[in-house]
Structure 1
Amino acid sequence: MVDVLTAGHVNWDVTLRVDRLPEPDGEAAIRSQRQSGGGSAANVATALSGLGLEAGLVGSVGDDDNGLLARRELEDAGVSLDGLRVVPDADTAVKYLLVDDGGEVAVLGNDGVNEAVGPEDLDDSRIRDADHVHLTSQRPETAARIATVASEAGSTISFDPGRRLADRDYGETLAAADVLFANDREVAALLEDEYVGSAFGDRVLVVKHGSDGAKVHTPDGSYDHPGFDVDTVDTAGAGDAFAAGFIASTFAYDDVERALEYANACGALTARREGARSAPTAEAVAAFLGDRY
């Protein structure tokens, strides 16, 4: 049994720090290169574990070297991998992250097998045993099945659909979610179609503004937090750390304003370090917030 079950992509990241993001027919100089695990579901699970929650993961990797490295890193972080599918003779999804001197990120990726989990591969008992389920980008039918099982079991559900929101039909999952995470661009997509009722209505909508903080809309009102002024090194994974922080704080306190501040602290601390797996520990967040938390 876990506190939070995350579901979605598990990747292997290759981060290239460059002097600038290249333009068409342009060239950039590589300053450094590093590799680590990635993928939103895996990032959130790892961050939650660092914040003191028991986290599990539903996703898929290949049986190649990158998949082995990704699994080892997750195990070392304390994430339960009972729901991770290892696909024989397949390649783990690899994302190449270009990070410029200002911390801005561009992503290249191969197809890989990070969406090999279908509804027929799910263990419903594992979903029912979680107190909270956090869904990220994945096959819509898989996300919908997880959301349905979790909802019927009385678990709370959060959903961060990511940049592919406009290209996929996530209607069932959005309708079941108690909490939605989205950035400004994704909110615009929500407002332009039938999901608007699900986005606002009786649900919590958390809008991420990057370095400008975030805003949360609830049935009882809306709250802003301006974020924290930090020296940005790498924004990769900051949104995932933000989501983990919001979830972890709401586990401890029934206070969305407090959760918003805590989430912004997690995002800011992640952006100060290199790599998508640089989310802070609970102790680091407490030290950063001091008397504010």
Structure 2
Amino acid sequence: MDLVITQELARAESQQDAASLERAYQLIKSANLGKSEFDPTESFSPDLFVLCAEQALKMGRPGMSQDCIQMYFKVKGPVTQFLGRAHLCRAQLCAPKSTEDMGDFENCVTQYMKTVNFARGEPRYHFLVYNASVLYWQMVRPFLKPGYRRHLIPSLSQIVNVLNQIEEEDKDWRAELMLELLECYLQAGRKEEAAEFCATAAPFIRAHAPRRYQQVFARMVRHGLTGELQLKEETRTSAGLAVTFHINSLQARLDKNDLPEDIPGILREAYEDLGRGSHQRVPSAAEDQ
């Protein structure tokens, strides 16, 4: 019976065949009730609940997906990767429809974190941490606006930490999430935590995602997350960083309504820096050594 259901699900996926999905779903429900049209004593894998739920989600059948996930958790099958995948399905099913649905947001985050915490300790399940981080980020994108980013800090910081702990190979993805977490700290007014986080995030980004380093450097300058002498020292390695330093130093003064008198001179210096190094790039940490 497992083979028949698997074939129906494979056909549903490859051909986007709603009828095959429905047949698989009905077979699964019958087997779950012990009323299979096949041998009722034949073994039935709980994994099929999750496989059907995932396919139902992809094909716009949330009700079917929800039913399959409920059946999966009721049978209490063995602890495998499908437990994490079931939580991912649940998370997608309860995703908030607007930024005002904070209850759904918290429920959704809880399901993603269950996947992350389940998978973090087992290397063969680490792919689920990455998958959860991607789906989580798709869900929270509407919250990337003033007044809402603060809600992301508890979950996003944990996801970033776990991705670092498992040494996720997609370092650019880790760097992107680090930048977003830094912005969350800053918009929430949590400057001390931003500075502490930046102390480890900035070297990582410089070493492994150098094209993103100018973004973190700009935040360090504008918000005073690192000593000015250290920041000025870094401008010696890159004309681009020198320009970024001048512009964001001015922006920091503007934020405080404390503009210097010689703005034209500062802008002229920035322009000269840009001209002297238009072909330079930010060196990686390895190149500095």
Whether TM exceeds 0.5 here: the answer is: no
Answer 1 or 2: higher relative contact order, Cα 8 Å, separation at least 6.
Answer: 1
Greater CA radius of gyration, 1 or 2? 2
Normalised to the residue count of structure 2, the TM-score between the two structures is 0.28
More helix by share: 2
